[in-house]
Amino acid sequence: MNDHATITMKDIAEALGVSVTTVSRALKDHPRIGKETRERIKAYAQEHNFFPNVIAESLRKSRVQPQKVIGVIIPQFAHYYFSTILAGIEEEASSHGYRIMVAQSNEKYEREVKICQSFYENKVCGIIVSQAKDTTEYSHFQRLIDLGVPLVFYDRICTGVNASRVVVDDYMGAFTAVHHLIETGCRKIAFFGSSMKLEISKNRYNGYRDAMLKNGLKPDDNFFRVCDNRTDAERITPDILNKEDVPDAFFAVNDDTAIGILYTAKRMGYRIPQDISICGFTNGQRAIACDPMLTTVEQRGIAVGEEAANILIGQVEGAIPMEKVVKRIVRTRLVIRGTTR
C-alpha cells in the first residue's frame, strides 16, 4: 500500500478479517478484545500510518475538551455567497467555543482531496464543505466518514455519500423567480445555469422548467446555456440576442451571470426591463450596485452557515448521533428591483 494513502478502519478490518467494531475497540484497548488481536490490529495500523482522529472522539466523550477546531472547505473566497456562509459558520462556531480552519479548493478536485487529508492530519474535530465544481469522485469524503470524522455539506451537496447537509430551497427559489417573470408579461425566458452535474443546477433548472410548464409555456432549448459567471455571460449573450427569435427575459443561476447579461443587453441597445427582464440568484452587494438594480433570489448564506455549524457541533458533542443524516433546507426570498417589470 502507498505510504501516503489514507487507510481507514474498514481497510484494516478487511485486511485482517475482523469487523470495523473490533478494529475500533482494539485501537482503544477495549478489554473485550483479546491481547493478541489488539496487538495485531495496532501493528497493522502503525505499519500503514493509521491514526484515529482523537480530537473528534474525545470531544464526543469527554467534558475535558482539547483544541476545538472545525475545518471549513470553501470553493472560492471571492464569491459573495460563500463569504456570507463562512460568516455564519464562524459566528455559530464561536458562540460554542470553537475556532475554524478555512481552506479554498478553488473549484479543483485535486486540491479538495489534499485539503481533506490535511484537515484530518491536523486533527480537526469535523469538516464543513461545499464540493468543487469538477468533483465527480467522492472517495475522499467517504474516507473521512469511515474514519469517524463528522462531515456536513452546504450548498453544493455530495449525493455520492450519505452525509448531513444544508441547502437553500433552490427549486422553489427558481420557481418563484420565473413565475414572477411570467406574471409581469414575459413569455420567452432564457435559462443560464451551471453544469447539470451539480445538484443545485438540477434543482434550479427544474424550478424554472416547472414554472414555465405550469403557466402553459414550453421551455425553449435554444434559450438554454451552461453559463455561471459574468465573463462567459458577456461572451455568450450576444449570440442569443443577435438571433431573429430573442428572449424577453433571462433567469440566471447567480447574480454575476445576471449582471453580465444586463450590461451586454444594454450595450446592444436593449432597454431593461422594458425590452428584456433579468433575474439573478444570490442577492449580494453587486445586485444593488448595478443599473438598474437587480431583481434576484436571496439565498440567506449566513443562515446556511449557522445551520451547518450547528449540525456539526451537535455531532461532535454527541447531541446528534454520528450515524444520523441531518438534512436542513433554508428558504429563499425573491427581492424585486429594477430589472423586472
* pLDDT per residue as tens digits for the range 278-335: 999 999 999 999 999 999 999 999 999 999 999 999 999 989 988 899 999 999 999 9
Residue 98 lies in a domain: yes
> Would you state the cell numbers that stand for residue 153, as one nine-digit string?
455539506
144 and 223, same domain (yes or no)? no
Q: Provide the mean pLDDT of the chain.
A: 92
Q: Which residues contact 184 (CB under 8 A, 6 or more apart)?
A: 273, 277, 340, 341
pTM greater than 0.75: yes
What is the C-alpha to C-alpha distance for residues 316 and 233, in angstroms, rounded to an integer? 42
What is the C-alpha to C-alpha distance for residues 266 and 27, in angstroms, rounded to an integer? 66
Contact 127, 119 (CB under 8 A): yes
What is the C-alpha to C-alpha distance for residues 289 and 77, in angstroms, rounded to an integer? 20
E runs forming strands in the chain: 69-74, 99-104, 126-129, 151-154, 164-168, 189-193, 224-226, 249-252, 277-282, 295-298, 327-330, 333-335
> Would you state the cell numbers that stand for residue 134, as one nine-digit string?
469538477
Check residue 45 and give its pLDDT.
Answer: 84
286 and 241, same domain (yes or no)? yes
> Would you state the cell numbers that stand for residue 177, as one nine-digit string?
423567480
Q: Which residues contact 284 (CB under 8 A, 6 or more apart)?
A: 80, 81, 84, 255
Residue 236: name the closest of 215, 248, 220, 252 by CA.
252
E runs forming strands in 214-302: 224-226, 249-252, 277-282, 295-298
Residue 196's CATH number: 3.40.50.2300
30 and 3, same domain (yes or no)? yes
Range of the domain at 46: 1-52
Task: Give 254-275 pLDDT, tens digit per residue.
Answer: 999 999 999 999 999 999 999 9
Please indicate whether residue 251 or residue 30 has the higher confidence score (pLDDT).
251
308 and 163, same domain (yes or no)? yes
State the average pLDDT over residues 155-184.
96
Domain total of the chain = 3
